[in-house]
Amino acid sequence: MSSSNRILIADDNAANRELLEAYLASVDCEVDTAVDGQDTLDKAVELKPDLILLDVMMPKFSGFEVCKQIKENPELKGTMILMVTALNELGDVERAVNAGTDDFLSKPVNKVELLKRVENLLRLKGTVDELERLRMYIRSMEDGNPAASE
Q: Is the pTM of this model over 0.85?
A: yes
- In whole angstroms, give the CA distance from residue 116 to residue 112: 6
Bridge partners of 105? 84
- In whole angstroms, give the CA distance from residue 145 to residue 38: 46
Count how many domains the chain has: 1
Q: What is the mean pLDDT of each run of 10 residues along the chain (150 residues)?
A: 79 95 93 96 97 93 95 95 82 87 91 96 94 93 65
- In whole angstroms, give the CA distance from residue 133 to residue 90: 37
- In whole angstroms, give the CA distance from residue 95 to residue 42: 22
* Domain interval for residue 81: 6-149
Whether 98 maps to a domain, the answer reads: yes
> Which CATH number belongs to the domain containing residue 92 in this structure?
3.40.50.2300
Evaluate whether 37 touches 61 at the Cβ level (below 8 Å).
yes
Whether 1 maps to a domain, the answer reads: no
